[in-house]
Amino acid sequence: GNDLVGKGVMTRQRVDQLQTQVDVVRGQIAATQAQRAVLVQQGTEGEVLAPAEGRVLKVPVTRGAVIMGGEPVATIGGGGLFLRLAIPERHAGSLKADSAIRIQGAKDAEAGRLAKIYPQIENGRVIADVEVEGLDTSFVDARLLVEVPVGEREALFVPRAAISSRSGLDFVKVETDGGESERVVILGEGGDLDGTESIEILSGLRVGDKVITGAAAK
């Protein structure tokens, strides 16, 4: 500015005015930087840290909303995963803790344990938690087919390998005093029995019959 004044390009008064404007702008920049620092500090103080590792299940507040102390901002599933079941109230008396549960997933069936049964009935259903070892997070918020023991009855099962079919009829070979005998049977539902694929026999056999399985039954 002094050089411009010395060369007669600009008056001293004009230089002072421009210098004043520069000082004002610098002050505004400094004030803006200070405000930014305050906002950054406030944002840091407003961070909400999760109490544990897990998966976010629900966020009940909207982004940018003002929240008060103690107000929940997220629901996190941590400390292991459980399957929560809603079972019709009529089966409440049959449910027992530690009962074995089978879960039909996308792949093979998985075994679980009925870890907890809640006493409160919600919308006509009993709420229970199932513990499954190594449960994948893909089961969260998924609808699954679950086999729950809610009753008992006696049934007669034979290995599926003992059954042969001809002309629309099903046969099972049994051992008798006179040798092998083939009997017509009526089949029920199938299932896994002690690791063996088996099927229920509704009629045609009785308790005590010696069933022949394997190649002899073909």
Along the 218 residues of the chain, how does pLDDT read in single tens digits?
Answer: 567 666 666 777 877 888 899 999 999 999 999 999 988 887 777 677 888 777 788 888 888 888 887 888 888 876 667 778 888 888 877 888 888 887 776 566 677 888 888 888 888 888 888 887 766 666 666 777 777 877 778 888 999 889 999 989 999 999 988 888 899 999 988 877 777 888 999 999 888 889 888 644 43
pLDDT of amino acid 32 = 94
pLDDT at 216: 45
Pick the CATH number of 81-147 from 3.10.290.10, 3.40.50.300, 2.40.30.170, 1.10.10.10: 2.40.30.170
Helix (H) or strand (E) holding 46: none
Angle formed at CA 190 by CA 185 and CA 132, multiple of 5 degrees:
160
The reply to whether 157-217 shares the fold of 81-147 is no
Percent of the chain with pLDDT over 70: 85
E strands of 29-178, at which residues? Answer: 54-58, 75-78, 82-88, 100-104, 109-122, 125-131, 145-147, 157-159, 163-166, 169-176
Beta-bridged to residue 127, according to DSSP, are: 86
**Domain 157-217 - what CATH class?**
mainly beta
Listed in sequence order, the residues at least 6 apart from 205 whose beta carbon sits closer than 8 Å to its beta carbon are: 156, 158, 172, 174, 183, 185, 211
Domain boundaries, the chain: 2-45, 48-79, 81-147, 157-217
Q: Fill in the DSSP letter of residue 120.
A: E
- Phi and psi at 161, nearest 5°, equal -65, -15
pTM for the whole structure? 0.42
Query: What backbone phi and psi angles, to 5 degrees, belong to 173?
Result: -85, 135
The token pair that represents 153 in the structure block: 């009855």
d(CA 193, CA 189): 12
Smallest CA-to-CA distance from 89 within 145, 130, 144, 127 is with 127
Q: Can you name the residues that pair with 11 across neighbouring β-strands?
A: none
